[in-house]
Amino acid sequence: MESKPTITCAGDEKFFSSIKNIITDGLPRESEEWTRSHMRNPKNVYLTAQFAPYSEERLPPPGTKCLLGQAFFHIYWAECQDLDHYRQSVKENISNWLATLKARKIYDWLIVVIDHSENKKSNKTKLLSRGSVLDKVKSDFPSQGSQRCISLLDPCRNDSRAVGSMQCLLQRIRKLVLQAYSRQLCLFEEHMRTQRERRNENGWSFQNFFFLQEELALVLEMLGLYDEALIQYDELDALFTQFVINSNVGDMPEWLTCFSRPCDIWSGVCLLREKSIELRNVLLSGNACLLDLRNYLFSRQCALLLLLCRPWEVAQRTLPFLHNCISELKILEVNMPPGAVACWVFLSCFEVLQTCEKFSDTSQIKEYSLYCAGLWAYAREKLHHIGILCGLMPDLMDSSEKLHIVVNLLAGMGADPYPVGVDSPHAKLRAALSSKESFLKHYLELSELTMGTFKHNRRIRTARLIGKDLAQLYMKMKQPQKAVSFLTDLLKTYREENWEILTASIQEDLLECYSAMEDIQRYLKTCIRLAATLCFNLDKRKDYFQEIISCSEKLGSDPLLVRTERTFLVSGAKIESSFTPMICDSEILVTFHIHSNLPSEIICRNIKLFLKKQSAPNVDKSKQTDNHYLSSKPNVSSHSPLSPMQSGGGLGIPSRDEMQQRILVQPQLIVGCYRQEGAQIYSVMCKNTHQVLRRRDSQGFHKDDISEEDNGPCFKVSMAKLVPGPNVITITVKVSQSGVYVFHRLWMEWGNIHFALSNISPLFSFLVMEELPTITRKIVELTEAQMQRLKGRSQAQIRAWREDHHGDLVAGIEQDVVLKLFSGSYSFSKDTTLTLKASRGLRLKNDSSEASWEEDIQIKLPEMKPFSSAEMSIKVIAQVQLQKTDNAIEHFITILCPWSPNAQRISLQFLPPFFIFQKLNTCGIRKYIEIVTHGVSLLHRFLLNNIKLELADQKDVALQQFGVSDTLIIEADVSASFLWEIMTEDPNQLPSHFIFSLDYQLIDDYIPQDWLHFSYEFRLNHYQTLYAVRARIEPPPADQAVWAVCGRTAGVVNIDNSKKHGVTLDVKPLISGFLPLPTVRLSKYIPAEPRKPTSKDSTPSKDSGSYNSSNVARLEPFDTGQVYNWSRAKQIDVLPASSCLSLDVSS
């Protein structure tokens, strides 16, 4: 079956023998693009070939229909030194060779002329060249495109030209050989199509057509086109299948009757090359049966798939092949002994599995294991069938008839194609059929391997169905404890997928296992589940119920804990409370709607409700009716008694991930509709696909602890009767702590059997609130007069006042503060008192008493119910503090509350009634003190009176006030200025300590206010006039240009006994007109201190360094009032002329 294209060689055989190995090895090193007819895609072909001496017997006869072993390409090797030698002998030989080829209608040939000439010199001869031998050959034997003649330099020469010549020859051979095969394949395919069209004629044989098309497949395989060769076998497979199907509904062709003969050998598919050759010979002899044809055809397909490096596709094709072949055996009514087909399937599956495992790598393990899982399962199924047929199962007895079947099956398997000692499919099946123990060993190993493969491919349900078969096997082997684990796994799957009938069937199998194990507790639990199964009839359920009653007496003193699951279902719950919202220690009635699936009535000794406290959310009381909790209001129709909480996210309730294994997640669908190009398009999108499509097998089975201990608050009702169907149970609940409470578990005690319904679904919960009382300050409404004052203000001022609310409290005057108390979930009696403590500078007084101002006061609360409010009014007054800005003064009222050990603070912002600042003015040596009083509050006006400035250092100096007025009114953005002159010219008599005082009164249109006094002290130091500065502008006569500061900008003068000093600077004005004189600033010049010499032995001080502030000259300003500038208010008429600035400094 392995062949290569044959090429004949004529001419100089000695020379060709010397280069044969070079050409044979060089052809497959590079690929050649093969362009074929019928619009087929070009292919890159690595060509191999075998060379044979030329003879007429090797030439294919005209019109041959055979492809394999035929020589379709021919080469003539011509070695001649010159043209004379060529004319004498070579030319005639080539003519005879070509004449023979043409007589056989062969047009694929090549003439190779060997050139032994040396490199020619570079100088040209004057005589004309006579031409080369190659040119003469081309002219004597013309061909299309001149591709049939080529020159080859002597390969023995070691130069680049010889190597290039050899590469050109190899490329020419590849191209011409492929052209030859293209011509032959076109003719062959035309003949093959003609034969296929005659398939319905009498005398047409599929066997002959099979080998005809297989010859094309073998040629394509020979050229390395494995995918196209595979197509040929696939077409033969489909053609034969179609004939078999048609024979089932019509007449059977004569050639198909030979495949209906009885089959005596069922050795299975073998992928060894030797076995394929043997089967092909059987097919050629005409004695093949249906299984021989199918085995050979499938083995050839698998061989090509392995050459294409696709072993996973071999496994993919195997299962359809086996099913199709079994169907054909039934259609053709092929007579085979019982178990023969099962043996053939088992051997074929293991042959493919071992081959795929040998050729598969890690990159293909996913595809390989996916398709091999089905083969493992099919092989296990057939082995199980063989075991039953041969009496090898544990519950079957041995007999001579069964032994005879085993012998016949082993004989029909034939000889093992693999060597002795190899773990081949034949060896496995023979070992499995040798004894019962060996059969069970192989069957269990195969089952475990099949289950593991399915689990690896996430086919959990299929794996657990195989486990069910193993459970039945273990029951037959009297090992129920091993069967339980497999049945339990399958039961979990059925429960999760809500297969009620299948679940009940598995539970009956488990009941049989528990009975055999004498496990009373699990036996009772299973009986309870079966008694509550609605898919059974009532009589059967009552039988199980009676079994419960009879077996419960065997439990003893320890109760049996059972999850209710579907025995009792909570279809709804209703919460009613005497108080809304629910608070601590209030009675709550919880009404459950319980549906009993038991077939008879039971009386529960106790029905307990266990609550589980979650972290309490921050719930706004005003939005209590909009949350997800069940309503506690009685007689409110908007809350259904059966409506559960719909979401717990962010409320401290178990998340959806914790509830996945006990409730079914509903998809959240978004339905859209839009028009596009005149069509109405609807769309449905699921938002929570990651939850709906989440694979549940990997989550494990939910096993909740159903012990009665440590379950939180518990409330119960005794002697409750539960009848089949709906029941209503009411439990009184009273909790003493606030928080979110979830209905965690419902516990029902019936004799020695305790039912526990954990994690009630849907998730019911309620909120018990504990809201601490709060005290806030109530903003008092503005009076009509205050509103009128605000109308005169800008919008920016009003907006700023409304944002901070600082404008309603003013320091220094008595004002009312209203405190608002919200009781929360607490209630207060009439004698409850609150203690209020004021911060420093703030005094309080009870509004209802005439007591004096105190820092600590007590107020009594009125009688208050939960979630009610009350207002308390107190009087406050804050001390006026000296301020130079309008910043608010913050005070605190600390409230000691009886409901909390922590005190509560209320912040009060007081605006000053006014702020004051002073300024010192100087005129020569005369000194003036100016005091400015600026209003702050937008809502209040103040009347000022009795303004005084006095000396505190008791110097005999008079203060003269200017612009004396009796009263002044100030408010926001309104200020009042007061001016006094110090009446002394003696610098030593200038006072330094002053006291300013005034009386102020709040202007109220309705209530007369008292006069209040305000005073503050301030000091002025070093304000006597030490220097006076005079400046003048003197333009030079010759310069009339625009002036500006030129040159230096400062000067230094030494102060001696003279009183006047001058500094001259050059300036130029930048603009014309009346301009103020340039600003002149007088400062103290502190020269640098001389550096002291240091000795070599002295130690540097810590502060010594490269830079010292005492060694740098600096300027220091004079104190306020020590320098007076006489020229500050002077102006000069600037003309376009240069000027000179002269500075006089006089002390």
pLDDT digits (tens, 9 = 90+) for 545-556: 999 998 888 887
- Tell me 554's DSSP state: T
Any idea what the Cα angle at residue 973 is, between residues 967 and 974, rounded to 5°? 20
pLDDT digits (tens, 9 = 90+) for 843-893: 888 876 577 888 888 888 888 888 888 888 888 888 888 777 778 888 999
- Spell out the SS3 assignment of 669-725: EEEEEEEECCEEEEEEEECCHHHHCCCCHHHCCCCCCCCCCCCCCEEEEEEEEECCE
Q: Could you give the CA distance from residue 1035 to residue 1031 in angstroms, rounded to a whole number?
A: 13
Q: Is the pTM of this model over 0.75?
A: no
Rg, Å, the chain Cα set: 58
pLDDT digits (tens, 9 = 90+) for 121-147: 444 444 444 567 888 888 778 776 567
Residue at 921: amino acid letter: N
Residue at 79: amino acid letter: E
Q: Three-state SS for 931?
A: strand
Is the pLDDT assigned to residue 817 strictly greater than 60?
yes
Q: How confident is the model at residue 620 (pLDDT cuts 50, 70, 90)?
A: very low
Is the pLDDT assigned to residue 232 strictly greater than 80?
yes
Q: Are 1045 and 1068 in contact (CB under 8 A)?
A: yes
Q: Could you give the CA distance from residue 815 to residue 909 in angstroms, rounded to a whole number?
A: 13
State residue 701's pLDDT score. 46
State residue 1045's pLDDT score. 66
State residue 700's pLDDT score. 45
Of 42-51, 626-635, 896-905, highest mean pLDDT? 42-51
State residue 240's pLDDT score. 95
Task: For residues 1052-1065, give the mean pLDDT.
Answer: 75
Torsion of Cα atoms, 463 then 465 then 470 then 476, to 10°: 180
**Higher-confidence position of 499 and 131:** 499
State residue 781's pLDDT score. 65
Is the pLDDT assigned to residue 1043 strictly greater than 60?
no
State residue 792's pLDDT score. 64
State residue 639's pLDDT score. 33
Closest CA to 385 of 428, 325, 343: 343
State residue 340's pLDDT score. 95
Residue at 453: amino acid letter: T
**Higher-confidence position of 454 and 629:** 454
pLDDT digits (tens, 9 = 90+) for 652-700: 333 334 433 334 466 788 888 888 777 888 888 888 887 777 665 444 4
Is the pLDDT assigned to residue 220 strictly greater than 70?
yes
Is the pLDDT assigned to residue 531 strictly greater than 90?
yes
Q: How confident is the model at residue 1006 (pLDDT cuts 50, 70, 90)?
A: low
Side-chain-side CA neighbours of 645 within 13 Å: the count stands at 27
DSSP per residue, 406-468:
HHHHHHHT-S-SSPTTS--HHHHHHHHTS-HHHHHHHHHHHHHHHHHHHHHTT-HHHHHHHHH
State residue 131's pLDDT score. 61
Q: Could you give the CA distance from residue 188 to residue 65 in angstroms, rounded to a whole number?
A: 6
State residue 148's pLDDT score. 87
pLDDT digits (tens, 9 = 90+) for 238-278: 999 999 999 988 888 889 988 988 999 999 999 999 999 99
* 184-193, 525-534, 692-701, 784-793, range with the lowest pLDDT: 692-701
Q: How confident is the model at residue 484 (pLDDT cuts 50, 70, 90)?
A: very high
**Higher-confidence position of 986 and 1092:** 986
State residue 802's pLDDT score. 59
Which class for 944: exposed (0-12), middle (13-18), buried (19 or more C-beta within 10 A)? buried
Q: Where are the alpha helices (DSSP H) in 308-419?
A: 311-331, 340-359, 365-389, 400-412
pLDDT digits (tens, 9 = 90+) for 569-581: 888 888 888 777 7
Is the pLDDT assigned to residue 291 strictly greater than 90?
yes
State residue 659's pLDDT score. 38
Beta bridge mates, 325: none
Task: For residues 1143-1147, give the mean pLDDT.
Answer: 44
Q: Could you give the CA distance from residue 591 to residue 587 in angstroms, rounded to a whole number?
A: 13
Q: Could you give the CA distance from residue 1003 to residue 1013 in angstroms, rounded to a whole number?
A: 15
The pair phi, psi for residue 472, each rounded to 5°, is -65, -35
**Higher-confidence position of 937 and 752:** 752
Q: Could you give the CA distance from residue 838 to residue 879 in angstroms, rounded to a whole number?
A: 12
pLDDT digits (tens, 9 = 90+) for 723-748: 999 999 999 888 877 888 888 888 99
Q: Could you give the CA distance from residue 991 to residue 664 in angstroms, rounded to a whole number?
A: 93
Q: Could you give the CA distance from residue 176 to residue 181 in angstroms, rounded to a whole number?
A: 9
State residue 316's pLDDT score. 93
User: What is the β-pairing status of strands 109-115 and 71-79?
Assistant: parallel
**Higher-confidence position of 1074 and 429:** 429
State residue 690's pLDDT score. 76
Is the pLDDT assigned to residue 170 strictly greater than 50?
yes
**Higher-confidence position of 947 and 647:** 947
Q: Cβ atoms within 10 A of the Cβ of 452, count?
A: 14
Is the pLDDT assigned to residue 447 strictly greater than 90?
yes
Q: Are 711 and 595 in contact (CB under 8 A)?
A: no
Q: Three-state SS for 1143?
A: strand
Average pLDDT for the chain: 82
Q: Could you give the CA distance from residue 992 to residue 953 in angstroms, rounded to a whole number?
A: 7
